[in-house]
Structure 1
Amino acid sequence: MMKNEIGALILRVTLGIIFFVHGLMKFQGGIENVAGWFSSIGLPGFMAYVVAIIELVGGIALILGLGTRIVSALLAIIMVVAILKVKLSAGFLGNGESAGYEFDLALLAMSVYLGLSGSKLFAVDDMIFNKEKTELKETA
């Protein structure tokens, strides 16, 4: 059991850092430019803001272990859309002009795993909910 939790912690923190940095870069690079690019590939421009916020705030939440399953599910959806809408045409390893979808597929797999299994080790959620469970048992 503990090995699984250590593995989930590593995935959760790594995924959180990756998405936090990607969300931050969208804002630092000019979110308006990202919105324009979204429009150019047939996605509503406002979705750039939604994606960037989910990546930025979701990355922090994953690092802290706050809402891991929900955040991971949202990130999985983002990765599915990224693979299908942007990366699939370039192939698995890319076509020499653009990157392939191998990295996105790895992020998708990590997100799906955390969405299904969660991660309790050093997670704020676990600290909060275990404290509440303990308090309920003490008052009963």
Structure 2
Amino acid sequence: MTPNSAYAAFVLRVASGALFIAHGLLKVFVFTLPGTVAYFESLGLPGFLAYLTIIAEIGGGLALILGVATRAVSLAVTPVLLGAVWVHSGNGWVFSNEGGGWEFPLFWSIVQGTIAILGSGAYALKPSVRALAAA
């Protein structure tokens, strides 16, 4: 990885992580936990998926910002984003439509694929396989 691409991967990783944290906290503090659960249930999804989504968004966001297991985390949060594509698919493709469209979560899914390909980049905590095995 060239120095410039390492910094580009870092910026993409941190920006994406910050957005995940913002979306997770939005579900907790604005929509509230009961409200988020009720929304998931109104979509025909089990309520517990709301909690898993929030954990994935906040935990995944922190891991991305720190550069911990970046490739695995970016792949793990992709189903959350594809679920958002499904939820917003009936609203049209522009996210400014009422209820939001599907282009933003689809683009963000592509960003996660790009992060998975690039890896952590610069300024990442990268636990070695040995360190994980010793723990």
CA–CA distance in structure 1, aligned partners of residues 5 and 57 of structure 2: 25
Aligned-residue RMSD, C-alpha: 1.9
SS at match of 1:124: coil
Q: Which amino acid aligns with 1:76?
A: T
Q: Which of 67, 71, 74 is 1:72 aligned to?
A: 74
Counterpart of 1:135 in structure 2 is: none
CA apart distance, 1:131? 9.7
| In 2, Cα distance between equivalents of 1:56 and 1:69 | 16
Q: How does 1:1-140 map to 2 (within 5 A)?
A: 1-29=2-30, 30-84=32-86, 86-93=87-94, 96-125=97-126, 128-129=127-128
**Counterparts of 1:120 and 1:5 in 2: how far apart (Å)?**
4
- Size of the aligned set, in residue pairs, is 129
Q: CA deviation at 1:96?
A: 3.9
3-state SS in 1 of match to 2:128: helix
Runs of at least 5 residues in structure 1 that lack an aligned partner in the other structure: 133-140
State the secondary structure of the residue aligned to 2:60: helix
Q: 1:10 to 1:130 in 2, by over 3 A?
A: farther
Query: What TM-score does the superposition give when structure 1 sets the normalisation length?
Result: 0.84
Q: Percent identity at matched positions? A: 33
Q: Hey, what's the Cα distance between the residues in 2 that align with 1:55 and 1:94?
A: 19
Distance of 2:98 and 2:122 partners within structure 1: 41
Query: Which is higher, the Rg of structure 1 or of structure 2?
Result: 1
The separation in 2 between residues aligned to 1:97 and 1:56, in whole angstroms, is 25
Shift >6 Å, 4+ stretches: none
Tell me the secondary structure at the aligned position of residue 110 of structure 1: helix
2:37, 2:48 within 8 Å by CA — same for their partners in 1? yes
Q: Distance in 1 between matches of 2:36 and 2:46?
A: 11
SS at match of 2:98: coil
Q: Secondary structure at the match of 2:20?
A: helix
